[in-house]
Amino acid sequence: MAQRIIGPLSVGYDEEFVNPLDDDFTCLICQVALREPVLTRCGHRFCRLCLEQCFSRQNGQRCPYPCPVDRAELVYEKDVFPDKATERKILSLAIKCPTEGCVWTGELRQKQNHLLSCRYKAVSCTNQNCKVTVLRKDLDEHVGFLCPWRFTMCTYCNTPLPKCQEEEHYRECKKFQVECPHGCGAKMQREKLSHHTGGECPHAQVWCPYHPMGCEVMVQREQLESHLDSSARRHLDLACAKLNTNQEQYKETTRKLENKIEALEKQFKEKFQLFELQIQLTTNLGIKRDNEILKLKEESQPFVWKIEHFREISKDAKRGRNTVISSCNFYTGPNGYRLVLDMYPNGNGVGKNTHISVYVKILKGKYDAVLPWPFRKAVTFTLIDQEENRMLNHVMTLSYNQGYSDAYARPVTDSNIANGFPTFISHQELRRRRYIDDDTLFLQVQTGPPWHC
């Protein structure tokens, strides 16, 4: 019998054969069933890879190579031959399935096909995110009934979701049935709960409708009618007291406003008288500027924009609703320019969220054909401080600027582009004085003498 050579690497068929393996079918190097057997000229059989690895360890030595069994000299290309007959016999040998629990036996050549369907082979779950391996025979049951990542449908909203996330989904599902938290016994979909508690639930705690008048009682909705019946006299007293307070506040505000208007009229009258004196002096010097003087007098008439409910307007602007409000159209004088004011309560451009922004726009007017263009008047914005006997007002003046020629040219459409102050007054400074009184703000605009480049 030929000598067996123990190789460092087993590359043959290491299978469990049904019958004992014949020595002629065993590789003399790896000592297991031959895989791709070759026959040497000296009559020994080896696995093809075993023999090639054995020869490769002879690196540095010249051919011919020595046979691993009897050291006979071999030239690989001429003295080593594929042994197809022996390979067919080996592939026909009966083997057992290597998978524990499987009783299959068959020819060696059928092994790979069998392993692809072996019911006892461990395979991975086919559900996404599941890392579990199970026997192939248990795969269908695991995938369909046991896997925590199997997909199921929400009973309430029909949303597909993994089984392991079902409880988490139920805690947020808008269609999930929940009970009223106030204990009225009603059940409804979660998305309808706020509507129920806000307007239907008889056990929900609600304020008395006279809460704005001063009633501090909070009762269950079902007891509200009883509360109103039992407290009718007290509610009437509260309403009367509130009405009286509002009337007094209105009278006080009206009085302050009348005083302010009277003071402004006096101030403007004094300025106008001074201006008339300047005109008289100019006339005495022989300067013929009658047309300019007339226009200047006309354009010196101020426009006061009264903005009521200003706090609510500011809240809407901060929420992104009604970000700009506009005044009514007005003329600077009997034959003057036609203007309109725009205000951004929550700011515009660089003044966004921090300032009030104000702008003026020139509109197409009745007297445009006889007015000088471009518009070169100085526009003075005055935010009126409503503090009694106090005339410290916020004033800014806008003058003609060559860079805004489109804003001052004679209008060819309904209105020109706006020009003004994106940072007219900061929200912080607005609260330092009484620019807002009784939720009302006054912005005065007046055009002044021509501004020369």
Structure-token match 């509610």, residue found: 235
pLDDT at site 8: 45
pLDDT at site 5: 46
pLDDT at site 39: 94
**Quick count: other Cβ atoms within 10 Å of Cβ 351?**
20
Could you give the 3-state DSSP secondary structure of residue 94?
A: strand
Distance CA 353, CA 323 (A): 11
For each of the chain's 453 residues, which pLDDT tens digit applies? Answer: 344 444 445 577 777 888 898 888 999 999 999 999 999 999 999 999 999 998 888 765 557 889 999 999 899 889 999 999 999 999 999 999 998 899 999 999 998 999 999 999 999 999 999 999 999 999 999 988 999 999 899 989 999 999 898 889 989 999 888 889 888 888 888 888 888 888 888 888 888 898 898 888 888 888 888 888 888 888 888 889 889 988 989 999 999 998 999 888 888 888 878 877 876 776 555 444 444 544 444 445 789 999 999 999 999 999 998 899 999 999 998 889 999 999 999 999 999 999 999 999 999 999 999 999 999 888 999 998 887 655 567 777 777 676 778 899 999 999 999 999 999 999 999 888 888 989 999 999 998 775 443
pLDDT at site 26: 93
φ/ψ (deg, to 5) at 212:
-60, -25
pLDDT at site 3: 44
Distance CA 375, CA 359 (A): 15
pLDDT at site 453: 34
Distance CA 183, CA 202 (A): 9
Distance CA 163, CA 125 (A): 15
**Tokens (6 digits) for 78:** 């001429």
Q: Are 61 and 76 contacting, i.e. CB atoms less than 8 angstroms apart?
A: no
CA dihedral (325, 329, 331, 334) positive or negative: negative
**Tokens (6 digits) for 1:** 């019998």
For 36: left if phi > 0, alpha if psi spans -120 to 50, otherwise beta; the answer is: left
φ/ψ (deg, to 5) at 2:
-65, 150
pTM: 0.39
